[in-house]
Structure 1
């Protein structure tokens, strides 16, 4: 198995004056681990995933798979992606068996019979009847199509799997079954996985590591339980406050008078210093003495802080919060 490493990756559209959707992101998906990437819409999560599989241009930095730049791999890399919309990820004119067969690397199986057996095995792996191999996608439900999309990704024999909001387009009643399937397949095959979601409950359920993304940058990363019970960045705390849970009031820092629910800054013209300072409930909006947030980028020395938090005052603020599952702090 190999690690997937985003090494100072940037993705820019429209030239130097265009939009930088991903800005110098460093993130590692270690062998056999599930890294959950969370953030609101427009934060750059999907763009980062698409950059890994070559669907978005890498303007700077490198995406490494086993230490090799994925752009230099001659054969199809052991990296596959499952997309958000199960209705558009499959060709409606191809049977699901044909779609899965198309993804099997050349030379792995010789003869139609062997490929049919592999398709049947993959369908069984995702809990679908192999007899459906001749069906068109239009005869399947959304959850069944997403299972087929997962089987097709697995047909490529990946070592790393990227799942981009794969349950958000499904009915709530189906989401749990698909998540259980993903977790079971990941453990059985020992896959490394980058799992993207805006749903913190899903991230907690599946992930070993959580990375939080805001306006093109990673602002916090660490072990899942630590990040979700002892968040160091105010944006992470605001995401937890916005999520419906019994702990919402413990994280609700909006009483400080800041506009945490305001619109994010313009991604075409991100603010200087900390990119979150225009919404931050503990920053210069409510603390005039914290001018450093307006001037100095906290991502520069984030590695020296707990969870690599991109916040100048992460330690000060975490000390005064009561964290669910942890002890009260003054």
Structure 2
């Protein structure tokens, strides 16, 4: 069990004068042995944050720490962070058998004999509820659910301290999503893994996570224990995500003026708005309450609550006096 921490992390694509800052100064902790669910709509920066942790996206500022050690300075060949990708059809090499793909991820010095590697491949396939005989097949002979389980086995082959699961059920048929989710949850508990679980599905996050973090336009806007954040959301963006998932909430979770949020287009990530990035869509901000100019001028993240339930909003919660910002 180890702690994964993103410390003021930024990911920028393109040149200095242009391009896109997909992740902007994010600080987020995945506690040892816990699952942190990261949610947000497409383009919020979730996958860029995950890829930065495993070295697949450029880190333009900040650090990714594993028990306090910068992951970019760890010894070569040591892969304490492993990632399971969204698309099981493109994440496996079609020229390699399933067994070869899993064996490739094993630490080089752990299994020197071919027989030892075969035994470990068989063990890992059994761990993800696949017949070890499937190790001789190529991915094209397998279903999407089977391929995703192979992806899990391949990640576990690296003996990771932390697993990052990026939308691991979104490309699967509904009929097999539950099977993969139950497997992920079971493996995390049995192996006592720390996990960053990325999804746009709040029902999935509620099911597998201990902590949830909500991301919008490259920044974390709310984070805390899953029961608190999804049961009593304080940020209007979180409330709007819940409002888009009727099965998760009652009608009283809807924002002050749903029409001011749900139908509004997200801001341009190449040119995010000043102040609170959500304020052009926010039912608690100046779009509905013209007197709340602070939302368009001051970043609420500068004074965000750093307690157990964190929220970056000038007017958190429901029923707040519209004339007064947060104390």
Give TM-score scaled by structure 1 length.
Answer: 0.94
The answer to whether the Cα contact below 8 Å between 2:164 and 2:195 also exists between their aligned partners in 1 is yes
1:5 aligned partner:
5
Distance 1:171 1:191, change over 3 A: same
Q: Deviations over 1:37-86 (max 9, x none)?
A: 00000000000000000000000000011211111112323110000000
Larger displacement relative to structure 2 (249-258 or 66-75)? 249-258
Larger displacement relative to structure 2 (108-117 or 292-301)? 108-117
SS at match of 1:93: coil
1:234 aligned partner:
236
The answer to whether the Cα contact below 8 Å between 2:240 and 2:261 also exists between their aligned partners in 1 is no
Correspondence for 1:210 among 212, 220, 224 = 212
Moved over 6 A (4+): none
2:292 aligned partner:
290
Structure 1 residue 303: Cα displacement = 2.8
Q: 1:257-268 residue pairs with structure 2 within 5 A?
A: 258-268=260-270
SS at match of 2:247: coil
* Long gaps (5+) in structure 2: 322-327
Q: 1:300-311 residue pairs with structure 2 within 5 A?
A: 300-304=302-306, 307-311=309-313
Q: 1:90-239 residue pairs with structure 2 within 5 A?
A: 90-239=92-241
> Matches of 1:113 and 1:39 in 2, distance apart?
44
> Matches of 1:265 and 1:6 in 2, distance apart?
25
1:50 aligned partner:
51
Distance 1:201 1:318, change over 3 A: farther
Distance 1:318 1:232, change over 3 A: farther
> Matches of 2:308 and 2:111 in 1, distance apart?
48
* Long gaps (5+) in structure 1: 321-330
The answer to whether the Cα contact below 8 Å between 1:254 and 1:260 also exists between their aligned partners in 2 is no
Distance 1:252 1:167, change over 3 A: same
> Matches of 1:223 and 1:10 in 2, distance apart?
24
Correspondence for 1:249 among 244, 248, 251 = 251
SS at match of 1:153: helix
> Matches of 1:138 and 1:275 in 2, distance apart?
43
SS at match of 1:245: helix
2:72 aligned partner:
71
2:280 aligned partner:
278
SS at match of 1:40: coil
1:25 aligned partner:
26
Distance 1:282 1:208, change over 3 A: same
> Matches of 2:246 and 2:258 in 1, distance apart?
20
Taking only aligned residues, the RMSD between alpha carbons, in angstroms, comes to 1.4
2:35 aligned partner:
34
Structure 1 residue 306: Cα displacement = 6.8
> Matches of 1:319 and 1:19 in 2, distance apart?
35
SS at match of 1:311: coil
Distance 1:292 1:65, change over 3 A: same
